[in-house]
Amino acid sequence: MSSHNMIEIRGLDSHYKGRQVLFNIGFAIPHKKVTVIMGRSGCGKTTLLRHLIGLKPSESGRVFVEGQDMGSFDEKGMANYRRRIGVLFQSGALFNSLTVSQNIAVPLKVHTRLSDETIRIMSLIKLHLVGLADFLDYMPSQLSGGMRKRAGLARALAMDPEILFVDEPSSGLDPITAAGLDDLILELRETLGMTIIVVTHELESAVKIADQMVVMDRGNLLAVGTPDEIRSSQDETVLRFLRREAEEQQVNTESYLSRLLGRQYKAGENSTRRQGGVR
Amino acid sequence: MIYLVRKLGAIALDLIEGLGRMGMFFFRVIRGVGRPPGKYLSTLKQVQFIGTKSFFVIGFTAAFTGMVLGLQGYYTLSKFGSEGLLGSAVGLSLIRELGPVLTALMVTGRAGSAMCAEIGIMRIEEQIDALECMAVDPHSYLITPKLIAGLIALPLLTAFCDVLGIFGGYLIGVQLLGVSGGAFMDGLTSSVVWDDVYMGIVKSFCFAVLMIWICTYKGYYAGLDEGNFGPEEVSWATTQAVVYASISILVSDYIITSILL
């Protein structure tokens, strides 16, 4: 494994309720770069993210973090890894019963022995970073969707993580707020030198922030490369995704009718039955 | 036939897996007692939620149960000319049996369901995932304070229920039905011994553990088995939590009584 890679994924398969959702995924995430994992809704991006943050154990295939197999982490090893990461969830996942500053203070209170005053100052610094310094004592319910995401980002940054995972930063946001979040991600890479992994289906946003793009389709890896390399790809599915064209559905009549009937449908079954009825 | 065996096997395996998971869940909650962050404030908040806010409903339940006991007890005892034993009957019934059970059932309905729904909502809104990603143990952070608070609040609420129930029985027996106040109090003080109080306390501790364990466990794993994380899973988990906790309280009441008698 290259020493320039923070995370490397090899031959990762994943199942959900008996259905395979990831097929032999393998690529590397370089140090201090923004890697954008993109694809259509339901293509397995978030499942892949859950593997990377250790919320879903790998059934087959491996995830290496700086050369260490994540599957070999015990409880303590996983806790150590998670102290090095920050995660911004799609919904922000703020604790509704705590104020914004209390939300940011949670990891600081658990992992440090800082005084309450210092923790409050640190929370303020993080909120200042995401432009929410005036909302220290607000409850999450009093914030807009974009503000909640930024507050979630401030919490993800609380422990100054080496790796930041961001799930769908622009979903549900207006284009201006979404662009603001993209700028913030770029700023974090520049100023704090973080390795950032963003999961999104927003093409414009991905091209803007990515150093490396990973394109997925139906659980398969389609392409990995810089935004320019992806744009010059000759793969038909990648091109269709970049052109935002809907895929033509190849309808298999037999399997479609089998799904509708809840049993195996045989070609010609209908006509035979109709004949039987006439008889 | 093979289908039936396979189905039974699957149910048995699910049951064993569920029990194992419940055991691990409880172990992690207990382990959380000594883990940071400090739990004084969160435990106090939970004591207020489980204890203080249940005062009214427990008070009502206790007073009316005591009053009914007074009425029924008087009716039964008067058949044998033993109205003087009303204090003993009301006191023993409440302290040994009805106080702990009714308190636990009422707290399950009021606070247990709310705890289950709260944890369930945290699960479907990815807040528990967020805690895990911050390397914060959700068992220690969320559940342990509730368990400690339950162990503090439930015995106190039980004592409150006992006192108010006896007062209700006294009110009906002495003030309404004309039983001698002296006879009522004498029967009460002479028949209730430390062992009766001890049984009530032991029961309330056991019920507290069962109630918090089942309700928080159901919320914590809301939708996780089904793989769907929505309001329906939380409401189903809450219903299951209240039913299972109530049944467990009643079954364990029988077991504890049979052991301590």
Q: What is the pLDDT of residues A17-35, one digit of tens each?
A: 778 889 999 999 999 999 9
Q: Is B31 contained in some domain?
A: no
> Do the chains contact at A87 and B130, CB–CB below 8 Å?
yes
Q: Is B15 contained in some domain?
A: no
Q: Which residues of A touch B229 (CB under 8 A)?
A: none
pLDDT in tens, A110-168: 888 889 999 999 999 999 888 888 998 999 999 988 889 889 999 999 999 999 999 98
Res A98: pLDDT: 92
Q: Is B21 contained in some domain?
A: no
Which one of B123, B129, B132, B133 would you mutate to disrupt binding with A, by most A Cβ within 10 Å of its Cβ? Answer: B133
What confidence category does residue A278 fall into, taking pLDDT thresholds of 50, 70 and 90? very low
Q: Is B130 contained in some domain?
A: yes
Q: Which two tokens stand for residue A5?
A: 């890679």
Rounded-to-integer distance, Cα A163 and Cα B153, Å? 43
Share above pLDDT 70 across residues of chain B, in percent, rounded to a whole number: 98
What confidence category does residue A176 fall into, taking pLDDT thresholds of 50, 70 and 90? confident
pLDDT in tens, B48-79: 999 999 999 999 999 999 999 999 999 999 88
Rounded-to-integer distance, Cα A223 and Cα A239, Å? 11
**Cβ–Cβ < 8 Å for A21, A182:** no
Res B65: pLDDT: 95
In a 13 Å sphere around the CA of A162, the CA atoms on its Cβ side amount to 13
Per the model's pLDDT, the better-predicted residue between A59 and B162 turns out to be B162
Instruction: Check if B12 contacts A (Cβ < 8 Å).
Output: no
In this prediction, does ipTM exceed 0.90?
A: no
Instruction: Check if B129 contacts A (Cβ < 8 Å).
Output: yes
Mean confidence (pLDDT) of chain B: 92
Res B247: pLDDT: 97
Q: Kindly state the helix (H) or strand (E) to which residue A15 belongs, with its residue range.
A: strand A5-16
Q: Which residues of B touch A55 (CB under 8 A)?
A: 129, 132-133
Q: Is B14 contained in some domain?
A: no
**Cβ–Cβ < 8 Å for A185, A198:** yes
The DSSP-derived string for A84-150 is TEEEE-TT----TTS-HHHHHHHHHHHH----HHHHHHHHHHHHHHTT-GGGTT--GGGS-HHHHHH
What confidence category does residue A279 fall into, taking pLDDT thresholds of 50, 70 and 90? very low
Question: Once rounded to an integer, what is the mean pLDDT over residues A53-60?
Answer: 86
Give B138→chain A minimum CA distance, Å.
Answer: 11
What confidence category does residue A94 fall into, taking pLDDT thresholds of 50, 70 and 90? very high
Cβ-Cβ contacts under 8 Å between A and B: the total is 58
Neighbouring residues of B222: CB distance < 8 A, sequence distance ≥ 6: B116, B119, B120, B123, B124, B229, B233, B234, B236, B237
Checking if the pLDDT of A242 tops 50, the result is: yes
Q: Is B1 contained in some domain?
A: no
Count structural domains, chain B: 1
Res B205: pLDDT: 97
> Do the chains contact at B134 and A89, CB–CB below 8 Å?
no
Res A90: pLDDT: 87
Mean confidence (pLDDT) of chain A: 85
Q: Is B72 contained in some domain?
A: yes
Q: Is B251 contained in some domain?
A: yes
Domain residues for B236? 39-260
Rounded-to-integer distance, Cα B133 and Cα B152, Å? 31
Residues of A with CB under 8 A from a CB of B: 16-17, 53-55, 78-80, 82-83, 85-87, 89-91, 93-96, 106-107, 109-111, 155, 158-159
Question: Once rounded to an integer, what is the mean pLDDT over residues B14-21?
Answer: 91
